[in-house]
Amino acid sequence: MALDQNQVRDIAELARLQIDETQLDDYQKNLSNILDLVDQLAAADTANVEPLAHPLDAVQRLRADQVSESNQREHFQQIAPATSEGYYLVPRVVE
């Protein structure tokens, strides 16, 4: 399936990826080729076939709802780009 450049821009926006305008052609071509490859799936007869999510069809294990870990906020925030008073700093979201 061929994508047009506006679709490529929309997908990039959806995925929160800045794409250089000069690279749009490349992305358009390569993504279209990849979608052509996966479009072969359409020909497969999958009527009444149960989708396979886990190769061993395992189900989610549950555990008791008990505290098992200690708070390591300071340890983990050491590698954050910007923090203040235990919070992660980002540009202002609410005016």
Partner 1 sequence: MYNKTIADIARDLNAGEYSSVELTQSLLDRVEQLDSTYNSFITVTKEQALAQAKAADERRAAGNAELWTGIPIAHKDIFCTNGVLTSCGSKMLSNFVAPYDATVIDKFNQAGAVSLGKLNMDEFAMGSSNESSFYGAVANPWNTDCVPGGSSGGSAAAVAARLVPGATATDTGGSIRQPAAFCGLTGLKPTYGRISRWGMVAFASSLDQAGSMTRSAEDAALMLQVMAGFDAKDSTCVDQPVPDYSATLEQDLTGLTIGLPKEYFRDDLSADMQQQVRNAIAEYEKLGAKVKEISLPNTHLAIPAYYIVAPAECSANLSRMDGVRFGYRCDDPQDINDLYKRSRGEGFGNEVKRRIMVGAYALSAGFYDAYYKKAQQVRRLIKNDFVEAFKEVDIIMSPTTPSPAFKRGEKTSDPVAMYLEDIFTIALNLAGLPGMSIPCGQVNNLPVGLQLIGNYFDEARLLNAAHKFQQATDWHQQAPADIA
* CA 89 to chain centroid: 22
Tokens (6 digits) for 36 = 């052509």
Q: CA-CA distance, 9 to 17, in Å (whole number)?
A: 9
By CB under 8 A, residue 24 contacts partner 1:
no
In whole angstroms, the minimum distance from the beta carbon of 48 to partner 1 comes to 9
In whole angstroms, the minimum distance from the beta carbon of 38 to partner 1 comes to 5
In whole angstroms, the minimum distance from the beta carbon of 75 to partner 1 comes to 6
- Among 2, 4, 25, 88, the residue binding partner 1 under the rule CB under 8 A is 88
Q: CA-CA distance, 51 to 15, in Å (whole number)?
A: 25
